[in-house]
């Protein structure tokens, strides 16, 4: 498949894919006669892992290393540093859930109206502070 299709299937841009490649994080794909990049099905799964790790905000380099090793079934070679990073990200995500609950309370009426698309009416009376 060509780069556009790959990008679509992953929900990222062609620019991002080329950027990863320039950085040497992706194996350069074959080129068809016209010079277009030509990807196989396996690239989808491999990149999906990378994309997922990036959504956890793992730094690009680490995400790429990890997804590359995993794609080759060589997870035993993943460094302690990398494994620690993941463990951290998982805890961070848990913390974010809590934070989201806090936001839920503060944005409760906004949120409700968001679902229905109605105009807001209620006032919040917390932390009233006038500037000046």
Nearest distance in Å: CB 117, a copy of itself: 8
Q: Which of 24, 40, 52, 59 binds DNA (CB under 7 A)?
A: 59
21: DSSP letter: H
Q: How many CA atoms lie within 13 A of 25 on its CB side?
A: 21
Using CA atoms of 42, 37, 22, 57 in order, give the dihedral in degrees to the nearest 10.
Answer: -40
Q: Which one among 19, 68, 70, 89 touches DNA, defined by CB under 7 A? A: 19
Query: According to the binding rule CB under 7 A, does residue 37 interact with DNA?
Result: yes
Sequence-ordered alpha helix ranges (H) in the chain: 3-10, 14-22, 42-55, 60-71, 80-106, 108-116
- Which residue from 33, 34, 35, 42 is in contact with a copy of itself, where contact means CB under 8 A? 42
From 26-34, 74-82, 95-103, 123-131, give the range in contact with DNA by CB under 7 A.
26-34
* Site for DNA contains 86 (CB under 7 A): no
């Amino acid at each position: 498949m060509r780069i556009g299709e790959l990008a679509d299937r992953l929900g990222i841009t062609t620019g991002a894919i080329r950027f990863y490649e320039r950085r040497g994080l992706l194996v350069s794909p074959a080129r068809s006669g016209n010079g277009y990049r030509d990807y196989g099905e396996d690239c989808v799964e491999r990149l999906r892992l990378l994309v997922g790790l990036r959504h956890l905000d793992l730094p690009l380099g680490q995400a790429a290393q990890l997804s590359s090793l995993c794609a080759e079934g060589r997870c035993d070679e993943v460094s302690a540093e990398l494994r620690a990073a993941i463990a951290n990200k998982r805890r961070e995500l848990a913390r974010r859930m809590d934070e989201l609950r806090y936001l839920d309370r503060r944005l409760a009426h906004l949120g409700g109206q968001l679902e229905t698309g109605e105009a807001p009416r209620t006032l919040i009376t917390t932390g009233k502070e006038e500037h000046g």
